[in-house]
Amino acid sequence: MISLLINNQTYQIDADPEMPLLWAIRDLVELTGTKFGCGIAVCGACSVLIDGKRSYSCTYPVGDAMGKKITTIEGLTDKAGLAIQQAWIELQVPQCGYCQSGQIISATVLLKTKSDPTDADIDMAMQGNLCRCGTYQRIRAAIHRAAELIK
Residues that bind ligand FES (CB under 6 A): 36-39, 41-46, 56, 58, 94-100, 131-133, 135
* Choice between 11 and 56, CB closer to ligand FES: 56
| Helix 136-150, helix 100-113: angle, nearest 10 | 40
Distance separating alpha carbons of residues 65 and 51, to the nearest angstrom: 9
Shortest distance, CB of residue 13 to ligand FES, whole angstroms? Answer: 19
Shortest distance, CB of residue 96 to ligand FES, whole angstroms? Answer: 3
Shortest distance, CB of residue 115 to ligand FES, whole angstroms? Answer: 25
Specify which residues 54 forms β-bridges with: 49
* Choice between 39 and 61, CB closer to ligand FES: 39
Helix (H, G, I), strand (E, B) or coil at 141: helix
* Choice between 7 and 135, CB closer to ligand FES: 135
Distance separating alpha carbons of residues 103 and 73, to the nearest angstrom: 10
Longest dimension (CA), the chain: 45
* Choice between 100 and 106, CB closer to ligand FES: 100
